[in-house]
Amino acid sequence: GVILAVYLLSIVEKSMRKVVPDSIDIIVTPTISLLAIGLVTIFLIMPIAGAISSSLVGAITWVLNVGGAFAGFVLGALFLPMVMFGLHQVLTPIHIEMISTQGMTLLLPILAMAGAGQVGASIALWIKCRKNKQLTNMIKGSLPVGILGIGEPLIYAVTLPLGRPFITACIGGGIGGAVIGLFGGIGATAIGPSGVALIPLIANGKWWGYVVGLLAAYAGGFLATYFFGVPKSAMEPTELVSYDADEFDAETIVD
């Protein structure tokens, strides 16, 4: 609703500047534009936007209740590609609306399984590719924050560059989402972190169901990657590249 109101305000303001004299433009144009669009926003745009938001929340709740494990799998598996393109930010208003109407968001625990799938896939890569020192070093640096729910380091530094591990991580996230969807009614009281950091925010004492979903996503991502998602090139031995500061010429650095 706000986005539409701002868009209409820009149109009205541009139109008024064409007819209002320059001598009074700075006062008259903003005042009339804000007054007109403000009234339209209050009495027309916001009620329509509210009805659409309520319908959207109701539709999502219905899909989760009816779809169960299948809906959870689809949402959990597709969330990583959304994160990759930054589209996951679109879901923030939906979370807020669900929390305001239902006291919790049923989406967040399911979507959090995507990060857990990343963790399982990365652990499998760590084991299978232990001779690849560069890869295992990146995993060691990214895994702790991945467990806490920040999945971007694992996506962009580990699984996505390798290709197949990204897909198997999505499968792991789908498995965890299916478990959450199967249990049903597992929601978060606030928008916050995912991973293990989300446990304190799980509503109605159903944190145990969320933990089971996490473990399922870990296991699913690990097994899918271990058996099907490790490229042969990633298992080739590599060493970390290190540099000795004494080898550099000070004059070269200054230049």
- 20-39 pLDDT, tens digit per residue, is 888 888 888 888 988 998 88
pLDDT at position 110 is 93
Q: How confident is the model at residue 242 (pLDDT cuts 50, 70, 90)?
A: low
In a domain, residue 246? The reply is: no
Residues 203 and 96 in one domain: yes
The verdict on 28 and 140 lying in the same domain is: no
Residue 82 inside a domain? The answer is no
Tell whether the model's pLDDT for residue 247 goes beyond 60: no
Domain that holds residue 116: 87-235
> Cα separation of 229 and 222, whole Å?
9
Cα–Cα distance list, 118 to 68, 146, 200 (Å): 22, 8, 21
- If asked whether residues 104 and 160 sit together in one domain, one would say yes
Percent residues over pLDDT 70 in the chain = 90
- Answering whether pTM is above 0.85, one says no
Alpha carbon separation from 139 to 79, 183, 254 (Å, rounded): 21, 32, 34
Quote the mean pLDDT of the chain. 84
**Claim to verify: residue 93 and residue 215 sit in the same structural domain:** yes
Residue 242 lies in a domain: no
Q: What is the pLDDT of residue 20?
A: 86
Query: What's the average model confidence in pLDDT over 153-176?
Result: 92
- For 112, the 3-state DSSP assignment is coil
**Cβ–Cβ < 8 Å for 232, 190:** no
pLDDT for 248 = 43
Pull the structure tokens for residue 51: 């009805």
Whether residue 32 is contained in a domain is answered as yes
The whole-number pLDDT of residue 25 equals 83
The pLDDT > 90 percentage for the chain reads 33
What pLDDT is stored for residue 251 in this prediction? 45
Do 60 and 97 reside in the same domain of the chain?
A: no
| Same domain as 55, residue 92 | no
- Per the model's pLDDT, the better-predicted residue between 217 and 40 turns out to be 217
Residue 37: inside a domain: yes
Quote the pLDDT of residue 116.
Answer: 94
The answer to whether residue 195 is domain-embedded is: yes
Predicted local confidence at residue 64, as pLDDT: 72
Q: Say if residues 203 and 248 touch (Cβ distance below 8 Å).
A: no
Q: Given pLDDT bands bounded at 50, 70 and 90, which one contains residue 255? A: very low
- 3-state class (DSSP) for residue 230: coil
Chain centroid to Cα 112, Å, comes to 8
pLDDT of residue 233: 81
Categorize the per-residue pLDDT at 250 as very low, low, confident or very high, splitting at 50, 70 and 90. very low
- Helices 164-183 and 207-228 cross at an angle (nearest 10°) of 150
pLDDT in tens, 53-93: 677 667 767 777 777 888 899 889 988 888 777 777 777 87
Q: At 160, list the tokens.
A: 């996505």
| Same domain flag for 206 and 91 | yes
Is the pLDDT assigned to residue 142 strictly greater than 50? yes
Total structural domains within the chain: 2
